[in-house]
């Protein structure tokens, strides 16, 4: 049944995407992501307006329709029913005041909610109004709305809802409903009095989505804030609020609907070099029970591609209590399994350096899902070589037992074994590697651009034995019709 549903969604997606037969190479360029979201063409950065409504996940994003560089910002738009197959829709939000400038009054980042109780009084028919909050650069915080499930967007007549102030740099509003206080909350990046020491997140409340009261400010943050409540160890009676910065770093604390009180130091959620502007989806069904997040893979270059930018794969967030505190856990959304092709599984394989052949020598491809549990036994190091070939040694992922560090693509992070074991989950696409370490406790998101035709993989260990307790490797189907 799942296979049938996925195939149906795939067919519908491409009917919407193209009115005629697409070109042979459509979404099949050498560095075109096959299961990560990317725009059809031109520049893309921050995810915006993540909202779920009527069976659809909406993904908006910063988009320059004029070229492959930053500027002239609009909100691009796509929808999905399963978080993996995306249908492109027309641009949703245009610059204000008919601006044709690179920055002035263009549509910067923001968020979206569902107006369930018709607070704005704009609903037509049975469809609830979708409300997007965004920064119109140097033109204030503004609203755009849709009354037809996000297909058509209109500017709110009362804009701006928070006027522009020359001595501030206010932008990137994230709005959500605070149930205990029965009011809306906005978290907004600001730089009051143009003072860099005050750069941080301000908090506002509202009853009607248009009149906002300032309630507090916390310094030490820069751009694209987000604030979510998460369970600790999945216990409904034990929750904390997590305040995210633009780079994905976070504070854990309490929130009373008006002010955030930190209970931790600021911590990194991703140690890779291509991870920025994290946002979570609003209005997810209670029956789903998850908090879903996505980020822009900042800093990638995608050489000679018609597009510039891709998102991370959506992830599931939770909090877990350890001996040294509470930490964020991030793991790939379970929908990745919809793309599994027939894979291979190895169990209880003892690897001795110099005696064993490459355990995964038959593995080949440019899109893989790898899950493994490794007992370090007495080895000095172990790791993988990704995308090897006749003319390429590939990209190395290395765990050093002595240093207790994991390294990939020039980034190194401390990783302590769990009962002498290391857990790895890895997503490899044509232009990215995402590594989830020890069940999502540590994460690294990186872009990479391997040689065309280099499709091999190696698993190695040095200095002693390594026990592969379990290793699963699944090739992943392309989400685009002409994919692989």
Catalytic residue ranges: 46
CA pair distance 243, 375, nearest whole angstrom: 35
Burial of 135 (0-12, 13-18, 19+ CB in 10 A): buried
CA 159 to chain centre: 29
CA pair distance 151, 90, nearest whole angstrom: 8
Cβ atoms 297, 315 nearer than 8 A: no
- Which residue, chain included where needed, has tokens 């031109």? 42
Closest CA to 6 of 58, 81, 67: 81
Preceding amide of 8 cis, omega within 30: no
Query: What end-to-end distance do the CA atoms of the chain give, in Å?
Result: 23
Closest CA to 91 of 6, 151, 159, 26: 151
Copy the structure tokens of residue 194: 């143009």
In three-state form (DSSP H/G/I as H, E/B as E, the rest C), the secondary structure along 69-85 is CCCCCEEEEEEECCCCC
Copy the structure tokens of residue 438: 């020890």
Q: How far is CA 84 from CA 45, 72, 291, in A?
A: 19, 28, 16
- Which residue, chain included where needed, has tokens 């911590």? 267
Closest CA to 266 of 317, 185, 327, 191: 327
Cβ atoms 433, 448 nearer than 8 A: yes
CA pair distance 254, 55, nearest whole angstrom: 31
How do the residues of the chain divide into helix, strand and coil, expressed in percent and rounded to 5? Answer: 5, 50, 45
Copy the structure tokens of residue 414: 């401390």
* DSSP H helices in 185-289: none
Q: How far is CA 403 from CA 271, 380, 395, in A?
A: 17, 9, 20
Copy the structure tokens of residue 289: 């029970």
Point out which residues pair with 296 in neighbouring strands: 276, 311
């Amino acid at each position: 049944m799942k296979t049938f549903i996925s195939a149906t969604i795939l067919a519908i997606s491409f009917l919407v995407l193209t009115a005629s037969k697409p070109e042979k190479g459509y979404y099949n360029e050498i560095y075109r992501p096959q299961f990560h979201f990317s725009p059809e063409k031109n520049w893309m950065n921050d995810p915006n307006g993540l909202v779920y409504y009527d069976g659809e996940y909406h993904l908006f994003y910063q988009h320059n329709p004029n070229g492959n560089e930053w500027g002239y910002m609009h909100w691009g738009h796509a929808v999905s029913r399963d978080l993996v197959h995306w249908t492109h829709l027309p641009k949703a939000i245009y610059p204000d005041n008919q601006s044709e400038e690179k920055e002035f009054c263009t549509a910067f980042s923001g968020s979206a909610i569902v107006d369930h109780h018709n607070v704005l009084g704009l609903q037509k028919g049975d469809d609830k109004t979708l409300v997007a909050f965004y920064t119109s650069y140097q033109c204030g915080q503004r609203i755009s709305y849709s009354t037809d499930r996000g297909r058509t967007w209109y500017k709110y007549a009362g804009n701006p809802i928070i006027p522009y102030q020359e001595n501030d740099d206010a932008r990137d509003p994230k709005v959500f409903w605070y149930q205990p206080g029965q009011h809306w909350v906005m978290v907004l990046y600001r730089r009051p009095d143009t003072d860099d020491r005050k750069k941080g997140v301000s908090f506002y409340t509202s009853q009607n989505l248009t009149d906002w009261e300032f309630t507090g400010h916390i310094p030490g943050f820069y751009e694209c804030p987000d604030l979510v409540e998460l369970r600790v160890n999945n216990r409904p009676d034990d929750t904390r609020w997590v305040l995210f910065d633009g780079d994905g770093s976070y504070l854990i604390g309490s929130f009373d609907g008006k002010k955030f009180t930190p209970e931790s130091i600021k911590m990194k959620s991703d140690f890779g070099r291509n991870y920025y502007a994290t946002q979570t989806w609003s209005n997810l069904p209670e029956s789903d029970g998850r908090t879903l997040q996505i980020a822009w893979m900042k800093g990638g270059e995608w050489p000679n591609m018609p597009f510039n930018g891709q998102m991370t794969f959506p992830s599931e967030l939770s909090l877990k209590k350890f001996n040294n505190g509470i930490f964020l856990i991030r793991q790939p959304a379970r929908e990745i399994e919809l793309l599994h092709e027939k894979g291979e599984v190895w169990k209880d394989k003892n690897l001795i350096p110099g005696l064993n052949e490459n355990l995964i020598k038959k593995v080949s491809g440019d899109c893989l899902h790898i899950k493994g549990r490794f007992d370090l036994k007495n080895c000095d190091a172990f790791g993988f070589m990704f995308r090897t070939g006749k003319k390429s040694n590939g990209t190395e992922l290395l765990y050093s037992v002595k240093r207790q560090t994991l390294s990939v693509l020039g980034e190194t992070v401390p990783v302590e074994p769990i009962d002498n074991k290391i857990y790895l989950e890895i997503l490899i696409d044509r232009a990215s590697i995402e590594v989830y370490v020890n069940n999502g406790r540590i994460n690294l998101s990186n872009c990479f651009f391997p040689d065309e035709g280099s499709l091999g993989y190696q698993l190695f260990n040095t200095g002693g034995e390594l026990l592969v307790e379990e290793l699963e490797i699944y090739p992943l189907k392309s989400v685009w019709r002409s994919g692989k």
